[in-house]
């Protein structure tokens, strides 16, 4: 019971912190507002908490409260300055099949919360990394014992700081928070799809997403994969939301923050670059170049804040000549120092090409074969309907396929054990599940209505 109370208190705190920032999204439903304010509050208050720690404060509930207050006040002043106001989109009452779908969705989400809370935290990284860091931060109010080697800092701190907050509130297990992250995502997707399509299709979209076993099971374990997917896909959805010459430019800003926050969850994957491409396209299309540059600056700043700290720790470890024998440290240093492929790397990639193709097929294509199959009819709808938003969604899927293939090629040339972590590669692509489902249902809606453009 302690855990449930602590998780709910933490979640409510995040919602309050992020609430003001949602005003810049204009007219949105309460469900979506709850979801996005939780995600923004969660990411930003833990991020400011970390900055305060870097400035000399301790990790405790008081400084977490102060971090939340800072985010809240800054958002408040942005709203005052740009005259953003609270506007509520009223959702019609659910009836018939829609009501049944919403019952099913709510029941599934509650079951996910129950399972997550009941089961002990298990799984290698969940126990030894994310939750361990949460426990030690709650105990020491600092990163003591976590900066002695690179392993404990191989991922940014957001999820562990979430856990730490829950343990400081006397919770026993923080695992239940991960199903709240899924709930928030479902609320965001529902809100977006409701604006883009209709009530039935938006409900079907969230049902399809929840019924994907990989997504559902990840909401009951304390890994970073789900949180990463949630922030990345929600970020994409907000960036591509504004239509041509629209005044809803706050979406670009919120989308930028969400994509930036993905690097506060996992800094080892490069999909934030896709967000930058989308922001640049939107900035150009919407004639909001300054806002686009500012959003990109936010992404850079969030990523840089963590990476500069991590690099500093690695350098101090290497100066102390400790941890250098650790392959994780070496790989991390290599990752930071070498990103430009040379002739040797290109030759190695060419030599390994058949093995790389087999690997991509086995771990990237095959587990999501149905979803990749969807790209064929989506391409047909893109050509036929010439819908700008669908084009951006389709482009995002194509970019992710390209990026992961190139990434695996570079990875294969740098890491000798590259072909032994197929499971990680598969989980890395988890975001393709909601992204493909959203894109295909949006395409279905376009075929049905035959409209060229939807609000």
Partner 1 sequence: MHSKYLWVHLAILGITLGASFLESVSYIGFVDKHFILPAYTWYVLSVVTALVYRSANFHIAKWLKLLSWSSILIYIIFTISEVLTYPNYIFTVLHINLQALQIFVLLVSFHWLVSQYYLLNTTLRLAKSLIFSALIFVATEGIGLSIAFLIKGLIPIIKHPNATYEDQLYNTHGGFYPAIQLIIQLTPANSLILIPPQGNPWEVEGNAPIVTYFLYPRQVKNLETTIPETNKPIYALIAKGSWPRTSSVDYGWPKVPINARQIWQFDTTNHTFTTYMRNYSPQTDQWDWGLIEVKHE
Residue that has been written with the tokens 């991590």 in this structure = 310
Q: What token pair was written down for 394? A: 């389709």
Which of 316, 339, 447, 449 touches partner 1 by CB under 8 A?
447
The answer to whether 239 touches 279, Cβ cutoff 8 Å, is yes
User: How far is the CA of 367 from the CAs of 213, 249, 318, 422, in angstroms?
Assistant: 12, 37, 39, 11
Q: Is 417 in the site for partner 1 (CB under 8 A)?
A: no
Q: Is 208 in the site for partner 1 (CB under 8 A)?
A: yes
Q: Is 139 in the site for partner 1 (CB under 8 A)?
A: yes
Smallest distance, Å, CB 100 to partner 1? Answer: 15
Q: Is 376 in the site for partner 1 (CB under 8 A)?
A: yes
User: How far is the CA of 141 from the CAs of 137, 159, 174, 202, 265, in angstroms?
Assistant: 5, 16, 17, 43, 20
114-118 CB contacts, 8 Å cutoff, 24+ apart: 115/179, 115/220, 116/175, 116/176, 116/178, 116/179, 116/219, 116/220, 116/221, 117/3, 117/4, 117/7, 117/173, 117/175, 117/176
Q: Is 328 in the site for partner 1 (CB under 8 A)?
A: no
Which of 20, 37, 75, 173 touches partner 1 by CB under 8 A?
173
Say how far apart CA 338 and CA 340 lie, in whole Å.
Answer: 6
Q: Is 96 in the site for partner 1 (CB under 8 A)?
A: no
Q: Is 179 in the site for partner 1 (CB under 8 A)?
A: no
Burial 272-282 (b: 16+ CB within 10 A, else e): bebbbebbebb
- The nearer residue to partner 1, 40 or 157, going by C-beta atoms, is 157
- Specify the stretch interacting with partner 1 by CB under 8 A; choose among 13-21, 214-222, 318-326, 390-398: 214-222
- Specify the stretch interacting with partner 1 by CB under 8 A; choose among 68-76, 87-95, 422-430, 433-441: 433-441
Which of 114, 276, 330, 401 touches partner 1 by CB under 8 A?
114
- The nearer residue to partner 1, 339 or 366, going by C-beta atoms, is 366
- The nearer residue to partner 1, 111 or 398, going by C-beta atoms, is 111
Report which secondary-structure segment, H or E, holds 274: helix 272-285
Which residues bind to partner 1, rule: CB under 8 A?
A: 3, 108, 111, 114-115, 118-120, 122, 124, 127-129, 131-132, 135-136, 139, 145, 151, 172-173, 208, 210-213, 216-217, 220, 370-371, 373-374, 376-378, 380-381, 383-384, 437, 440-441, 443-444, 447
């Amino acid at each position: 019971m302690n855990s449930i109370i602590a998780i709910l208190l933490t979640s409510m705190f995040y919602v309050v912190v992020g609430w003001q920032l949602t005003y810049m999204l204009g007219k949105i439903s309460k469900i979506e507002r709850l979801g996005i304010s939780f995600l923004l509050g969660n990411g930003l208050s833990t991020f400011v908490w970390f900055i305060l720690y870097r400035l000399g404060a301790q990790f405790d509930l008081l400084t977490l409260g102060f971090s939340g207050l800072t985010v809240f006040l800054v958002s408040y002043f942005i709203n005052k300055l740009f005259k953003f106001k609270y506007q509520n989109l009223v959702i019609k009452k659910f009836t018939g099949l829609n009501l049944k779908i919403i019952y099913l969705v709510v029941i599934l989400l509650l079951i996910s919360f129950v399972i997550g809370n009941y089961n002990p935290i298990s799984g290698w990284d969940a126990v030894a990394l994310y939750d361990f860091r949460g426990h030690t931060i709650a105990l020491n109010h600092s990163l003591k014992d976590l900066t002695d080697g690179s392993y404990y800092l191989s991922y940014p701190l957001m999820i562990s700081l979430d856990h730490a907050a829950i343990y400081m509130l006397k919770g026993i297990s923080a695992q239940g928070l991960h199903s709240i992250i899924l709930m928030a995502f479902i609320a965001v997707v529902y809100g977006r799809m409701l604006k883009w399509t209709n009530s039935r299709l938006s409900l079907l979209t969230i049902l399809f997403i929840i019924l994907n076993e990989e997504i559902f099971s990840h909401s009951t374990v304390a890994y970073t994969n789900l949180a990463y997917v949630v922030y990345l896909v929600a970020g994409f959805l907000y960036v591509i939301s504004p239509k041509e010459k629209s005044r809803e430019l706050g979406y670009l800003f919120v989308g930028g923050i969400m994509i930036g926050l993905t690097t506060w969850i996992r800094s080892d994957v490069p999909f934030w670059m896709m967000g930058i491409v989308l922001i640049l396209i939107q900035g150009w299309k919407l004639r909001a170049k300054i806002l686009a540059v500012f959003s990109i600056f936010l992404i850079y700043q969030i990523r840089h804040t963590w990476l500069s700290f991590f690099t500093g720790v690695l350098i101090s470890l290497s100066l102390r000549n400790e941890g250098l024998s650790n392959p994780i440290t070496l790989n991390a240093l290599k990752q930071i120092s070498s990103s430009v492929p040379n002739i040797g790397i290109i030759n190695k990639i060419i030599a390994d090409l058949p093995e790389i193709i087999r690997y991509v097929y086995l771990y990237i294509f095959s587990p999501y074969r149905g979803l990749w199959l969807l790209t064929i009819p989506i391409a047909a709808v893109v050509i036929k309907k010439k819908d700008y938003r669908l084009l951006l969604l389709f482009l995002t899927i194509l970019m992710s396929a390209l990026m992961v293939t190139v990434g695996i090629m570079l990875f294969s040339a740098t890491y000798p054990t590259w072909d032994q972590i197929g499971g990680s590669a598969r989980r890395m692509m988890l975001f393709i599940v909601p992204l493909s489902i959203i894109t295909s249902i949006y395409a279905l809606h376009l075929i049905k209505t035959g409209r060229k453009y939807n609000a």
